[in-house]
Amino acid sequence: MKTLSARFILILAILGLVGGCGSVATRYEQPLQTPEVTPLPEPDIHYEATIQRGPDYIDALRAEPAPEQPSVIEGKSQRGDQRELASKGFVRIGNGRYPMDDEESVAAAIDLGRRVGADQIWIYHEQPTQDQPGSLLAAYYVRFKLLFGATFRNLTAEEREQLQLDGGVQIGSVVGQTPASQANLMAGDYVIAVDGKAVVDRQQFQQMLKHEAGHPVTLKIIRNQKRSDRVVRLGALPPLIK
């Protein structure tokens, strides 16, 4: 059940935001190369990896280099916090579990987060029971490159009639420093084709992006009733959590 929940949260991170003004020159780039998959060594007995990949593989997918000191946040609800973080591109790479909830355990959890390259450490104080004392859980997150970086929706019947189109999607909010924003896509743009193939609807466009993950694609867009091309270098899909 825990595995299914983790898979569900990661899928939200990838697909929930699948992010620019003026015209810029576009260029084709080489596909994103990810290192060979290698097992992640356990840093210490308290660490449990949720992504069974080596640090080089995770580094290739992270949005920014690992900070010298991760941010430390007091968590409230593991599932609720993870869902919100997933919508911002954060992926849970592992957990730190400590049998005692004290200052020494918190310090050790923070040091562990630094060693595994976490961007953020979320601390959870697990309540004591009759059988065991209160324990400490640290959740370690890294922000991955978003696949696309913008929301999009199906065209309305009125929009299809006005644009004389059978399908397509309209871009909604665009997240800064993502493939969509770097390609100069803007809220309100209509995407009508990917690499020359017509976009039918939101679901098909989403599948097109997933299929070309890690590669540049050319989007045919309509902006202010003018058609143009935008080259988007898509982010890579992170590995599924096991």
What is the mean predicted confidence (pLDDT) over 41-52?
78
Element (H, E) at 180: helix 179-182
Q: What is the DSSP letter of 111?
A: H
Q: How far apart are the C-alpha atoms of 41 and 58, rounded to whole Å?
A: 13
Instruction: With CA atoms as reference, report the closest residue to 213 among 196, 229, 194, 197.
Output: 194
Average pLDDT taken over every residue of the chain: 82
Write the pLDDT tens digit of every residue in 119-150: 999 999 988 877 777 899 999 999 887 889 88
Q: How far apart are the C-alpha atoms of 52 and 48, rounded to whole Å?
A: 10
Instruction: With CA atoms as reference, report the closest residue to 222 among 175, 172, 171, 183.
Output: 171
Write the pLDDT tens digit of every residue in 70-99: 999 999 999 999 988 887 778 899 999 999
CA distances from 137 to 32, 105, 114 (A): 34, 9, 15
Confidence of residue 239 (pLDDT cuts 50, 70, 90): low
List strand residue ranges (DSSP E) for the chain, in order.
Answer: 47-49, 71-74, 90-98, 120-126, 135-143, 150-154, 169-174, 190-194, 197-198, 216-223, 226-233
pLDDT of residue 118: 96
Q: How far apart are the C-alpha atoms of 97 and 78, rounded to whole Å?
A: 14
What is the mean predicted confidence (pLDDT) over 171-188?
90
pLDDT at 40 over 60: no
pLDDT of residue 34: 45
CATH architecture of the domain formed by 150-233:
Roll (2.30)
Any idea where the domains of the chain sit in the sequence? Answer: 20-143, 150-233
pLDDT of residue 1: 46
Write the pLDDT tens digit of every residue in 3-17: 444 444 444 444 444
Q: How far apart are the C-alpha atoms of 39 and 48, rounded to whole Å?
A: 13
